[in-house]
Amino acid sequence: MTEPGWTSSSDPYLVAQQHDAWSVEAAGRGRVGTQQLLGVETVNADTQVRRALGLAAGERAVVRRRLILEDDRPVELADSYYPEPIAAGTPLADNRKIKGGAVQVLAGLGLTPHQVSEHVTARRPTDHEQELLDIAADEPVLVLTRISRAATGQPVEYAVMRTVTSRSTGHTYQMQVPTA
């Protein structure tokens, strides 16, 4: 018997490429997918980020915060955390878009994402999420967390994505139903 769970494909987002994976995915559905960089900063990693990235207490992470849009409508907030020792001095720590994306930078450092684990939950949005996503307090958000690891097993990215459930983003999640 298979345990219930969620499956999704993050493959296009884990391969170094010349084009933005989101814009390509949206274009495949006749939509325009864009991103706004909300900011990049080095932060004291909270417990969840430390655990995901294997950081010791007091170690910091670089976070890149983005607003994901489809046809100019906000559909997702995406925060990507990188261990400071990996990100410092690279485009990951620069407050600007990265040509080729973060995966391209990681690949250039010899840290191409090789293994991914994801976890999906749903909850009510925070006030901040309501404002940025232009949704009501009772509109649930789907929260996908993803830990990407290099071939060595070293965590290289921890991503937290909050998606508006009523707006199509092209991400497909399927529940595995136990078979008798």
Name the residue among 138, 147, 144 with its Cα closest to residue 51: 147
Task: Give residue-wise pLDDT tens across range 138-152.
Answer: 999 999 999 999 999
In one-letter notation, the amino acid at residue 140 is P
Confirm whether pTM is higher than 0.95.
no
Work out how many domains the chain is built from and give that number. Answer: 1
Q: What is residue 172's predicted lDDT score, i.e. its pLDDT?
A: 46
DSSP 118: E
Q: Is residue 142 part of a domain?
A: yes
CATH number at residue 123: 3.40.1410.10
In a domain, 177, yes or no: no
- The reply to whether 2 falls in a domain is no
**Which two three-digit tokens encode residue 144?**
């996908």
Return the closest-CA partner of residue 75 out of 144, 8, 19. Answer: 144
Within-domain flag for 3: no
- Asked if residue 140 lies in contact with residue 165, where contact means CB atoms within 8 angstroms, the answer is yes
Whether 179 is in a domain gets the answer: no
Which structural domain, as residue segments, surrounds residue 78? 10-171
Evaluate whether residue 48 is within a structural domain.
yes
The pLDDT tens digits for 61-73 are: 999 999 999 988 9
